[in-house]
Amino acid sequence: MSVQVATCTVDQLISQHLIDYEAKDGTAIVCSEGQPITGMLSIPEYQRPYCWQRQQLKSLLEDIKSHRLLSSEQPYYLGSLILHQEMLSNGISRLNIIDGQQRVTTLSLIAFLLNPSLGASNSLSFDNLASQQQIKHNLKWLQEHLDELKDCIALDKLQFTLVVTQSEDDAYRFFETQNTGGVRLGGPDIIKAHHLRAVDKTFQTMFAQKWEGLGELDATISALLKGRFWQQMNARELPSYQQTKLVKDTIVKELAQDTGTSKEDISYGRIRRVQGLSGEISQQISQQGYDVRQPLNAGTNSIHYLSYFQELSHRYWENPDLPHLASYQGFVTWLKNLDGCGYLEGLYQACLLLYISQFGEDQLEVAAKKLFRVVYSRRVSNQKAVRENSISAFVKETPVLDWIALSYTPDQCCKRLDRFELRVDPSNINGNSVKKRFMDKVNNEFGLSLNDEQYEKEFAVALTRKVTGSSL
């Protein structure tokens, strides 16, 4: 791993002494080995947009002010910048900012206000509309606090450590492990960088725009991880949502580091094949798009995979607009308003994405309610609360995701769901408990016509009869 390390001030960085190969005034940035670090600062397409807001601006300003009060002569340390030095075809060196663009952009805005000629000299450009809008907002806020900036900020007293690599892969390894910015990177940000790096540079801008159009991915990624991890043949544990670093590491490993290196954009599905009496064969593709549990390749394959499931999530869960499936739409709208069911909702969304990716809208209105009876059974079979760790335990006992994944037809899937035995624990079904309120809402939604006294012995039978159509 070839790495250069150097220290520089903000005015050195922004005034582009970086590109002065023969600086005679002592302002060139020199690494620990004595070699000058040269190149034009640039932000790669795979970086997230500039997103610092007032909270981060205020925090930076307050930290610098506090430092100045303690020591007006000592520089204020802004952390490290991870840079990839890239040689262009014209012989010019470019320094791609792998980690630190939020800080560098913010300080460029401050430099522009304090010293317009200095700030205007930097080479950074922003094509992303979100970045442009945030820059306008922040520039306005900083302008309103210009006197405060002048009092506490001296650009030659703000200091960075530069970590410069000759290999993009080496820079990315630092990037994954070192997040030093004020808005820390989450798993989706890191997998974005991983996959956009794998896209041919000719198409990076197009795929970067496609990624930004996906919006917030956390819920979809959470559902996909459940679908991929909670299976009997290859069962894996998912960390608790409270273990934020482990969650991020899991996302990065599953959806970035462990993806293949092939450039092929592959999706896996099923074909329905019918053979006639005379031997003729007709085929029909029974699954479109991607499979939840399929192996992935880095680059376009993973980007299209996430895009496909994000679209399904929006269409059938987040913002359903399905007049042709009015019953389904009304049901999921009702379901998302249930109290005390957050963990169950996460499992239900995973089941839903798996079902729709496999069978589309075929029997979706029926399957949605059958899935509800199974997944939300934990709400009535538990004595009291539904805790996060009880969901993974439930899936081990009741492999509902496998029932969907291993079914060839919606009918087969529905029959497997119908065989599930619903049970009610009699604890806490009186008064105004969360469990009792849940049962009341289910009673009304499904038209079970039960009174409170019947819940203990009749609720499971009545709901099962209504959902499965059986005559228990």
Convert the pLDDT of each residue in 158-189 to its tens digit.
Answer: 988 888 888 777 777 676 665 544 445 567 87
Mean predicted lDDT score pLDDT of the chain: 85
Q: What is the pLDDT of residue 279?
A: 81
- Comparing 416 with 201, the larger pLDDT belongs to 416
Q: What is the pLDDT of residue 4?
A: 79
Q: What is the pLDDT of residue 471?
A: 53
Question: Where are the alpha helices (H) located in 120-267, listed in sequence order?
Answer: 129-144, 146-152, 168-177, 187-198, 204-212, 218-229, 244-252
**The dihedral formed by the CA atoms of 97, 98, 101 and 102, expressed in degrees to the nearest 10:** -170
Q: What is the pLDDT of residue 121?
A: 58
- Comparing 146 with 1, the larger pLDDT belongs to 146
Averaged pLDDT for residues 258-281: 87
Spatial strand order of the sheet with 158-165 comes to 3-9, 158-165, 76-87, 93-99, 40-42
**pLDDT score of 397 more than 90:** yes
Q: What is the pLDDT of residue 10?
A: 87
Q: Residue 155 to residues 16, 67, 71, 95, 415: CA-CA distances in angstroms?
A: 14, 14, 15, 21, 69
Q: pLDDT-derived band of residue 118, with 50, 70 and 90 as boundaries?
A: low
Measured distance CA(463)–CA(443) in Å, rounded = 8
**pLDDT score of 22 more than 60:** no
Amino acid at 9: T
Q: What is the pLDDT of residue 120?
A: 56
Q: Residue 291 to residues 287, 304, 396, 405, 414: CA-CA distances in angstroms?
A: 9, 12, 21, 9, 19
Contacts of 412 (CB under 8 A, 6+ apart): none
Q: What is the pLDDT of residue 25?
A: 46
Q: What is the pLDDT of residue 383?
A: 76
Tell me the pLDDT tens digit for each residue of 226-256: 999 999 988 999 998 888 888 988 998 999 9
Contacts of 234 (CB under 8 A, 6+ apart): none
Poorest-confidence range of 9-13, 219-223, 406-410?
Answer: 9-13
**pLDDT score of 74 more than 50:** yes
Check: pTM over 0.95? Answer yes or no: no
Q: What is the pLDDT of residue 18?
A: 47
Output DSSP code: residue 96: E
Q: What is the pLDDT of residue 19?
A: 41
Q: What is the pLDDT of residue 26?
A: 47
Burial 265-291 (b: 16+ CB within 10 A, else e): eebeeeeeeeeeeeeeeeeeebbebbb
Q: What is the pLDDT of residue 87?
A: 79
CA atoms within 13 A on the CB side of 131: 18
Averaged pLDDT for residues 343-369: 95
Averaged pLDDT for residues 272-294: 82
- Comparing 191 with 172, the larger pLDDT belongs to 191
Instruction: Return the percentage of the chain with pLDDT > 70, whole number.
Output: 89
